[in-house]
């Protein structure tokens, strides 16, 4: 596959609004196995050769208000933008470059309640981001990027174009500061000597069900407290938001459990 095609695909993705664009081979799932074969793209779509990952930022001073409608609207908007970009890039690959292509929508579940019994996603964009060199998997299980730390959302497009993969990052971007471990309101994380924290995903999911019932979700605190990311640079010398500002944003538009 010529560099020219890769450039065309990346230019198109950026023109659609993607801030980060990376690519890996579907062989990465087999070469560096983290998930069971059931999840490998090639075992779902046998013609697949490459996975293109698109990333867009979530803005820290809005996540600071979590749980709130301000953060929920940000989250919902980012999902909408990602699915639209993925649809349009897939359409470009199919109709203009003549390739086979599909996209894995960014969340792909009907409702958070449906994840309590099995909190796994059909496809992990975090893993695709890791294999494609967009970032590395942090102790919090989020993808940590140099640009936005874990404050980003991703979507993945799968194509039969054999696009030259971007190299996986050699340096782990997680600095093991334990801020996510300490800040998690449900104490989901535990140190067990593994490469990342052990995570009680069912407890995290049940907390999200509670937040959804209160009409302001998701949680996002483990993303919010992570100190990694150039996106935080403009806020280093002053608070990102006031305490009163957080209370204000949480007070309107939904009903916290205490009410």
Residues that bind ligand SF4 in the complex, under the rule CB under 6 A: 138-140, 144, 174-180, 184-186, 188, 204, 207, 219-222, 225-226, 228
Q: CA-CA distance, 50 to 27, in Å (whole number)? A: 8
Nearer CB in complex with ligand SF4: 176/215? 176
Q: How far is the CB of 220 from ligand SF4 (least distance, A)?
A: 6
Q: Helix (H, G, I), strand (E, B), or coil: what is residue 241? A: coil
At closest approach, how far in Å is the CB of 210 from ligand SF4? Answer: 10
CB of 60 to ligand SF4, least distance (A): 13
Nearer to ligand SF4, 33 or 185 (CB): 185
Query: Between 119 and 165, whose beta carbon lies closer to ligand SF4?
Result: 119
Instruction: Indicate the residue among 128 and 173 with the shorter CB distance to ligand SF4.
Output: 173
Q: Which is nearer to ligand SF4, 41 or 229 (CB)?
A: 229
3-state secondary structure of 233: helix
Q: Annotate the chain with DSSP letters as a single string.
A: --HHHHHHHHHHHHHTT-SEEEEEETTHHHHS--S-GGG-HHHHSTT--EEEEEEEE--HHHHTT-SSHHHHHHHHHHHHHHHHHHHHHHHHHHHTS---EEEE-SS--S-GGGGSS----SS-HHHHHHHTTS-EE-TTSSEEBTTTBT-EEEEEEEESS-PPPPPPPSS-------HHHHH-TT--EE--SSSS-EE-HHHHHHHHHHHHHTT-----HHHHT----GGGGGGTTS-SS-HHHHHHHHHSSS--TT-
Of 53 and 223, nearer to ligand SF4 (C-beta) is 223
* Residue 195 β-bridge partners: none
The nearest distance, CB 150 to ligand SF4, in angstroms, is 6
In the bound complex, what is the minimum distance in angstroms from residue 113's beta carbon to ligand SF4?
16
Interacting residues of 36 by C-beta distance below 8 A, sequence separation 6+ = none
Tokens of 111: 């409702």
What's the closest the beta carbon of residue 190 comes to ligand SF4, in angstroms? 11
Q: Whole-number minimum distance, CB 6 to ligand SF4, in Å?
A: 30
- In the complex with ligand SF4, which residue's Cβ is closer, 70 or 188? 188
């Amino acid at each position: 596959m010529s560099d020219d095609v890769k450039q065309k695909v990346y230019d198109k993705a950026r023109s659609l609004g993607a801030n980060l664009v990376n690519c890996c081979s579907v062989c990465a799932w087999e070469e560096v196995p983290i998930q069971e074969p059931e999840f490998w793209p090639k075992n779902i779509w046998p013609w697949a050769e490459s996975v293109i990952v698109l990333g867009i930022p979530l803005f820290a001073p809005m996540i600071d208000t979590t749980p709130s409608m301000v953060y929920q609207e940000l989250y919902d908007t980012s999902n909408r933008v990602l699915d639209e970009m993925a649809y349009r890039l897939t359409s470009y690959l199919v109709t203009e470059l003549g390739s086979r292509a599909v996209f894995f929508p960014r969340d792909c579940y009907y409702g958070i309640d449906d994840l309590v019994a099995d909190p796994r996603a059909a496809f992990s964009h975090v893993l695709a981001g890791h294999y494609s060199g967009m970032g590395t998997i942090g102790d919090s299980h989020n993808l940590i990027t140099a640009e936005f730390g874990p404050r980003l959302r991703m979507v993945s497009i799968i194509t039969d174009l054999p696009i030259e993969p971007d190299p996986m990052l050699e340096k782990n971007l997680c600095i093991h500061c334990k801020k996510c471990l300490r800040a998690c309101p449900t104490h989901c994380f535990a140190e067990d000597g593994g490469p990342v924290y052990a995570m009680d995903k069912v407890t995290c999911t049940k907390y999200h069900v509670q937040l959804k019932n209160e009409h302001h979700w998701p949680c996002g605190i483990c993303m919010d407290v992570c100190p990694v990311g150039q996106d935080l640079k403009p806020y280093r010398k002053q608070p990102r938001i006031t305490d009163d500002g957080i209370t204000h944003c949480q007070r309107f538009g939904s009903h916290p459990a205490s009410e």
